[in-house]
A and B are shown apart, each in its own frame.
Chain A
């Protein structure tokens, strides 16, 4: 993920949830699965903590109507990657590792909201995590490790 590429359109248009606005997606696969919505939080730490959301539609679900783990992990990768990039300020980050735990299931029509948390950073590594909610219910947590591989 890099910051300088042009934003790409998604094939579905939806009104953002209240308080959110469309996120600029620069990776073709994320644009393909999007839209994703972003809400800027008061970021006093400067460590790039953000809140983001997507609506589970027919492109995102398994046969049983539950959001596919691949979509949940793609969303996590997108949001935690954006948070990692924001924390580094500039450059290109790549995913080294992602751990996901599933407490519940997001279903067709649900709004999934992710809140990211900055955990630790070195010169070239960053650790962050996200909690994923449907309404009040925690449905997934993700922990991610990022490597800064260059400047954009």
Chain B
């Protein structure tokens, strides 16, 4: 048992394991809450040369920690994957810029089942000098679970962007 008493809690919580966690060990939200991992764009015909068309994908293999009380995937996991996918996409298309998130809207189209492998596909809808509009879908196989849109403010215009 660690000093936080995780092992004792595992027993109390029955079949739900409390994921081991030690203070100082977390490497940020995307790792701890996910991990949300970048994946190669799976869409055919996406152009790597054009960031407006090159979609990026982020994936998560859902575990016990990602569920709600009904053993469906928690909405927070879907929204988090969408946020990570959209931000990850911006990091690829605008590698030197810093973005401030202004808006994220999410619609819950279908429920995700325990054990699913989710893919978040994000793309840029329009990029201006100061604002970027993104869209994202979270998929479980072919099934759409969540659609999301985001607006991000560009804090520093990178020299690369204008090229």
Q: Are A29 and B68 in contact (CB under 8 A)?
A: yes
Annotate A25-65 by CB proximity to B: 1 below 8 A, 0 otherwise: 01111111100000000000000000000000111111110
**What is the distance, in angstroms, from B62's C-beta to the closest C-beta of chain A?**
10
Mark the stretch among A15-23, A97-105, A114-122, A128-136 that contacts chain B. A97-105
**What is the distance, in angstroms, from B156's C-beta to the closest C-beta of chain A?**
13
> Using Cβ atoms and an 8 Å threshold, which residues of chain A touch B80?
68-71, 73-74
Interface residues of B in 12-40 (CB under 8 A from A): 12-13, 16, 18-21, 23-24, 26, 28-30, 32-33
Within the assembled complex, what's the spacing in Å between the Cα atoms of A71 and B30? 10
Scoring B6, B13, B28, B98 by chain A CB atoms within 10 A of each residue's CB, the highest score goes to B28
> Using Cβ atoms and an 8 Å threshold, which residues of chain A touch B87?
62, 69
Q: Are A11 and B4 in contact (CB under 8 A)?
A: yes
Identify whether the interface residues of A are mostly helix, strand, loop, or mixed.
mixed
**What is the distance, in angstroms, from B103's C-beta to the closest C-beta of chain A?**
5
> Using Cβ atoms and an 8 Å threshold, which residues of chain A touch B81?
70
Q: Are A29 and B76 in contact (CB under 8 A)?
A: yes
Q: Are B76 and A30 in contact (CB under 8 A)?
A: yes
Within the assembled complex, what's the spacing in Å between the Cα atoms of A94 and B72? 11
Interface residues of B in 33-52 (CB under 8 A from A): 33
Q: Are A78 and B76 in contact (CB under 8 A)?
A: yes
Nearest to A2 among chain B residues (CB) is B69
Q: Cβ of B70 < 8 Å from any Cβ of A?
A: yes
**What is the distance, in angstroms, from A109's C-beta to the closest C-beta of chain B?**
13
Q: Which 3 A-B pairs have the closest CB atoms?
A: A70-B80, A74-B76, A29-B74
A residues apposed to B, CB below 8 Å: 1-2, 5, 8-9, 11-13, 26-33, 57-64, 67-71, 73-74, 77-78, 92, 94-102, 105
Q: Sample 15 A-B pairs with CB under 8 A, ordered by A number.
A: A5-B69, A11-B19, A11-B21, A12-B21, A26-B69, A28-B65, A28-B66, A30-B74, A59-B32, A62-B29, A68-B30, A69-B101, A70-B33, A100-B105, A102-B101
